[in-house]
Amino acid sequence: MDPSQGKTYVWQNSWGLSTRTIGVMVMVHGDNQGLVLPPRVASVQVVIIPCGITVKTTDEGRKTINDKCEELASELKKAGVKAKADIRDGYTPGFKFNVPLRLEIGPADIAKQQTLSVRRDTGVKSPPPLADITKSVPALLETIQEDMFKNSRLKEMTNWDDVVPALDNKRAVVLPWWEEEACEDDIVADRLSRKMRGLGRKVALHSV
């Protein structure tokens, strides 16, 4: 029923938007090591991993490290961070790495009252003090969020002269157009169908 209580045909569409946006996010931010998620959409923002445990580590030493991981996770959750202590024995540390930020805790870290933080997006490491962890970690997650969007591979451009350098840097380019086929035809026929600056290849752009 329309506003005048008359029967009309329903206008509807289905874009499959949810799965497509997930796919775009994976393609834009992922790297050769796998998944890279922006902190705001990650189900786990921080993973705390026990390190430095060997066959010589006593049961008491192992418990001390694991307890510290759980303690840190609890503190971060209270600070509003989606944190998880991954103390599973059946997986190597590398299996647990694909979250925005990981914190590594070992015997030396506990002795120094610090942890080792490692960013998933850049691999940059730093040793934040445990005493400041509830302040430093949320701040670092915001920095990661901003940096990932600033450095994402998807670029919106309005100047054609900027397009080729962006493509050379392996960016995906979004160009505006005036909702007429002539616009798209011009880009495809006049620009993309010929060799560009000696690249010797055709390229594909997204238009919005």
Q: Does domain 39-150 have CATH number 3.30.450.40?
A: no
Helix, strand, coil share of the chain (percent; to 5): 40, 15, 40
Q: What is the pLDDT of residue 208?
A: 47
Q: What is the pLDDT of residue 190?
A: 55
List the 101-105 sheet strands across, edge first: 83-85, 46-50, 101-105, 116-119, 125-126
How many CB atoms are located within 10 Å of the residue 130 CB?
19
**pLDDT tens track, the chain, 208 positions:** 788 888 888 888 877 888 888 888 888 888 888 899 999 999 999 999 999 888 899 999 999 999 999 999 999 999 999 999 999 988 887 888 889 999 999 999 999 999 999 999 999 999 999 999 999 999 999 999 999 988 877 778 888 778 778 877 767 788 777 677 777 777 666 555 544 444 444 444 554 4
- The encoded tokens of residue 178 equal 């005036």
Q: What is the pLDDT of residue 147?
A: 93
Domain ranges of the chain: 39-150, 154-207
Please answer whether residues 102 and 125 qualify as being in contact, where contact means their C-beta atoms are separated by less than 8 angstroms. Answer: no
Only one residue has tokens 């934040």, namely 128
Q: What is the pLDDT of residue 185?
A: 75
